[in-house]
Structure 1
Amino acid sequence: MRTDSIALRLAGLFALVAVSVFVIIGGALYRQVDKSLDVLPNAELEARYSVLESAISRFGDPEHWGRLTNKLNLLSEEDKRIHFWVVSGNPTYEYGAPGPDVRRLAQGPLGIHEWQREDGTALKVLVSTLPGREQRPSLRFLIGIDVANVRQTHHDLAMALIACAALGVILASLLGYWVARIGLRPLRRVSRQAQQLAPPRLSGRLRPSHLPPELEQLVEAFNAALERVEGAYQRLESFNADVAHELRSPLTNLIGQTQVALTRGRSAEHYFEVLQSNLEDLERLRSIVNDMLFLARADQGSRLNNLESSSLAAEVAASLDYLDFILEDAGIQVTVEGDAQVQVDRNQLRRALINLLHNAAQHSEAGQRVRVAITVDRGMARVSVSNPGPPIHGEYLPLLFERFFRVDTARHNEGGNHGLGLAIVKAIATMHGGNVFARSEGGANTFGLDLPLTAIRD
Structure 2
Amino acid sequence: MKPWRPGRYLALRLTAMFAGCAAVVFLLAGLALHTLLENNLMAQVRAELALRGTWGESAVTRVQSESQWRLWLVPKLNSMDMERGGMRLWILSQDADFTYGHPTPEVQRLAQAGGYGLLQLPDHPCALVTWTRNVPADGDRPATTIVLARDPLPFWNTLNNFRLALIGYGLAGVLGVAALGYGIARVGLRPLRRLSQQAHALDPNHPSQRLALASMPAELDDLTASFNGALERLEGAYRQLEAFNADVAHELRTPLTNLIGQTQVLLSRPRAAAELAEVMHSNLEELERLKAIVNDMLFLARADQGAAASRHAEVSLAEEVAKVLDYLEFMVEDHGVRVVVRGDARGCLETALLRRALSNLLQNAIEHSSAGDEIEVAIGREGERLSVAVSNPGAAIDQRHLAHLFDRFYRADSARRNAGGNHGLGLAIVKAIAVMHRGTVFARSEHGRNTFGLTLGL
TM-score, with normalisation over the residues of structure 1? 0.91
The residue type paired with residue 234 of structure 1 is R
Alignment of 1:288-327 (within 5 A): 288-327=293-332
Change over 3 Å in CA distance of 1:371–1:85 after alignment to 2: closer
Find the aligned partners of 1:107 and 1:386 in 2 and give their Cα distance.
Answer: 107
- Whether the 8 Å contact between 1:62 and 1:92 is mirrored in structure 2 is no
Report the CA distance between 1:39 and its aligned residue. Answer: 0.9
Report what 2:24 is aligned to. Answer: 20
Report what 1:69 is aligned to. Answer: 74
Superimposed CA distance per residue, residues 33-84 of structure 1 (whole angstroms, 9 cap, x where no aligned partner): 1111001111111111222322222222325523322222221168341222
1:386 to 2:391 alignment: yes
Find the aligned partners of 2:83 and 2:299 in 1 and give their Cα distance.
Answer: 105
Change over 3 Å in CA distance of 1:369–1:89 after alignment to 2: closer
- Whether the 8 Å contact between 2:110 and 2:117 is mirrored in structure 1 is no
Find the aligned partners of 1:64 and 1:99 in 2 and give their Cα distance.
Answer: 18
The one of 396, 414, 418 equivalent to 1:413 is 418
Find the aligned partners of 1:183 and 1:235 in 2 and give their Cα distance.
Answer: 39
Report what 1:159 is aligned to. Answer: 164
1:129 to 2:134 alignment: yes
Report what 2:218 is aligned to. Answer: 213
Superimposed CA distance per residue, residues 225-259 of structure 1 (whole angstroms, 9 cap, x where no aligned partner): 22222111110110011111112222222233333
The one of 202, 222, 225 equivalent to 1:197 is 202
The residue type paired with residue 182 of structure 2 is Y
- Whether the 8 Å contact between 1:131 and 1:138 is mirrored in structure 2 is yes
Report the CA distance between 1:18 and its aligned residue. Answer: 2.0
Find the aligned partners of 1:220 and 1:438 in 2 and give their Cα distance.
Answer: 30
Report the CA distance between 1:134 and its aligned residue. Answer: 4.6
Alignment of 1:6-17 (within 5 A): 6-17=10-21
Superimposed CA distance per residue, residues 166-196 of structure 1 (whole angstroms, 9 cap, x where no aligned partner): 2222222222222222222222212222222
Find the aligned partners of 2:192 and 2:245 in 1 and give their Cα distance.
Answer: 36
- Whether the 8 Å contact between 1:388 and 1:444 is mirrored in structure 2 is yes
1:240 to 2:258 alignment: no
Find the aligned partners of 1:53 and 1:441 in 2 and give their Cα distance.
Answer: 111
Report what 1:47 is aligned to. Answer: 51
Report the CA distance between 1:105 and its aligned residue. Answer: 4.1
Gaps of 5+ in 2: none
1:179 to 2:184 alignment: yes
Identity among equivalent pairs (%): 48
Which deviates more from structure 2 when the two are superposed, residues 219-228 or residues 360-369?
360-369
Alignment of 1:132-151 (within 5 A): 132-151=137-156
- Whether the 8 Å contact between 1:87 and 1:106 is mirrored in structure 2 is no
Report what 1:401 is aligned to. Answer: 406
Classify the secondary structure of the residue corresponding to 2:399.
coil
Classify the secondary structure of the residue corresponding to 1:434.
coil
Report the CA distance between 1:263 and its aligned residue. Answer: 4.0
Report what 1:282 is aligned to. Answer: 287
The residue type paired with residue 128 of structure 2 is L
Find the aligned partners of 1:109 and 1:338 in 2 and give their Cα distance.
Answer: 98
Report what 1:58 is aligned to. Answer: 62
Question: How much is the aligned-residue C-alpha RMSD, in angstroms?
Answer: 2.4
Gaps of 5+ in 1: none
The one of 114, 117, 123 equivalent to 1:113 is 117
- Whether the 8 Å contact between 1:254 and 1:281 is mirrored in structure 2 is yes
- Whether the 8 Å contact between 1:338 and 1:375 is mirrored in structure 2 is yes
Change over 3 Å in CA distance of 1:379–1:146 after alignment to 2: closer
Change over 3 Å in CA distance of 1:322–1:48 after alignment to 2: same
Report the CA distance between 1:99 and its aligned residue. Answer: 4.9
Find the aligned partners of 1:151 and 1:133 in 2 and give their Cα distance.
Answer: 40
Report what 2:264 is aligned to. Answer: 259
Find the aligned partners of 2:282 and 2:349 in 1 and give their Cα distance.
Answer: 37
Find the aligned partners of 1:103 and 1:219 in 2 and give their Cα distance.
Answer: 78
1:85 to 2:97 alignment: no
Classify the secondary structure of the residue corresponding to 1:425.
helix
Report what 2:429 is aligned to. Answer: 424
Which deviates more from structure 2 when the two are superposed, residues 380-389 or residues 232-241?
380-389
- Whether the 8 Å contact between 1:331 and 1:367 is mirrored in structure 2 is yes
Report what 1:188 is aligned to. Answer: 193
Classify the secondary structure of the residue corresponding to 1:179.
helix
- Whether the 8 Å contact between 2:377 and 2:390 is mirrored in structure 1 is yes
Change over 3 Å in CA distance of 1:380–1:130 after alignment to 2: closer
Superimposed CA distance per residue, residues 95-134 of structure 1 (whole angstroms, 9 cap, x where no aligned partner): 33x0534653464322222111112153222233334455
Change over 3 Å in CA distance of 1:141–1:317 after alignment to 2: closer
Paired residues, number:
452
Report what 2:6 is aligned to. Answer: 3
- Whether the 8 Å contact between 1:76 and 1:84 is mirrored in structure 2 is no
1:448 to 2:453 alignment: yes
TM-score, with normalisation over the residues of structure 2? 0.91
- Whether the 8 Å contact between 1:87 and 1:103 is mirrored in structure 2 is no
Report the CA distance between 1:139 and its aligned residue. Answer: 3.0
The residue type paired with residue 314 of structure 2 is S
Find the aligned partners of 1:432 and 1:349 in 2 and give their Cα distance.
Answer: 9
